[in-house]
Amino acid sequence: MPEHRSTRRAGARRSLRPPAAGLRTIRDLVRWGASEFGRAKLHFGHGSDNALDEAYHLVTWALHLPHELPKGYFEAQLTDAERDKVLKLLRERVRTRKPAAYLTGEGWFAGLPFEVDERVLIPRSPIAELIGQRFAPWLQAEPRRILDLCAGSGCIAVACAMAFPQAQVDAAELDARALTVLRRNLERHEVQGRVAAVRSDLFAALKGRKYGLIVSNPPYVPTARWKKMPKEYQHEPKLALEAGGDGMDIVTRILREAPAHLEDDGLLVCEVGGSVREFDKRFPKIPVVWPEFERGGDGVFVISRDDLVEWGNEP
């Protein structure tokens, strides 16, 4: 009998194989996850910028806990099932190199949650800060119609609808798979009556429509740079990232075609992210303004219809 009990105890110890056996609290799991992320040299650019914040986000999400936890919770003991669930998620982040938002199925933008998967970009644009400011001081009048061009998940369209409750919003997206996710997000936020999902190659399906505000986060990554991006970005749709030799193929079309779809006092807001140098090289004389962001980010320009038309008419 004693030998039998000893065998059972040894088996139990093996079932809690390291490092799981020593991880009992939320603090333990966050620390372990951050260490594993650092050891694996993961890349962070989809909502967090460091291993500790991302590990904390995944641990609290897996445990259905709010992101802002009272300090006492960090020493809370987890059940075996809870610990195993968290470890599985943390290990999946390392094994697949998928961004955290694809593992949880949810990304946040302008304080709002959005369903996301590998059919759409993960929301992370600094345009969210401009929406929160209602595009002041550049927007001259309350827009009656707003266009979210290259809408992806629909996060910009929904956030604009929330910021301008009297406006009608079009969310234009070329990829039919992305439109499926977009429509679910419209339903989630109950804005289907004011936000229309439109399948369109930029302005192609929007003939005759004019807007007081056009907002776009289009593809802008040069092909060579896209090929060298960290593996996390390779899970995102290439169609939403890569845009030719200098990344300006889609932006060029937007600049040329936008005036016909802007009202007289209309405003174009467009992101080019890390491709500002390529933008300046392609369009050295265009009179855009580059807003500064308090919460981080850059590479978003603002230009009025009048300035856009004047630039387009220059020899």
CA distance 166 to 164: 6
C-alpha span between 31 and 95 (Å, rounded): 18
Q: Rounded to whole angstroms, how far apart are CA atoms 245 and 225?
A: 9
pLDDT tens series, the chain, 315 aa: 333 443 344 444 444 345 566 888 999 999 999 999 999 999 998 988 899 999 999 999 999 999 888 888 889 899 999 999 999 999 999 999 999 999 999 999 999 999 999 999 999 999 999 999 999 999 988 999 999 999 999 999 999 999 999 999 999 999 999 999 999 999 999 999 999 999 999 999 999 999 999 999 999 999 999 999 999 999 999 999 999 999 999 999 999 999 999 999 999 999 999 999 999 999 999 999 999 999 888 999 999 999 999 998 876
Cis peptide before 143 (omega within 30 of 0): no
What pLDDT is stored for residue 12 in this prediction? Answer: 40
pLDDT recorded at residue 82: 94
What's the pTM?
0.89
Cα(156)–Cα(13) distance, integer angstroms: 51
The domains located in the chain, with CATH, are 2-104 (1.10.8), 106-313 (3.40.50.150)
Radius of gyration of the chain (CA): 23
Q: Distance between CA 222 and CA 57 in Å, rounded?
A: 31
Q: What is the helix (H) or strand (E) element at residue 304, kind and residue range?
A: strand 300-304
Q: Is 249 within 8 Å of 243 (Cβ atoms)?
A: yes
pLDDT at site 19: 58
Exposure of 102 by Cβ count < 10 A (0-12 exposed, 13-18 middle, 19+ buried)? buried
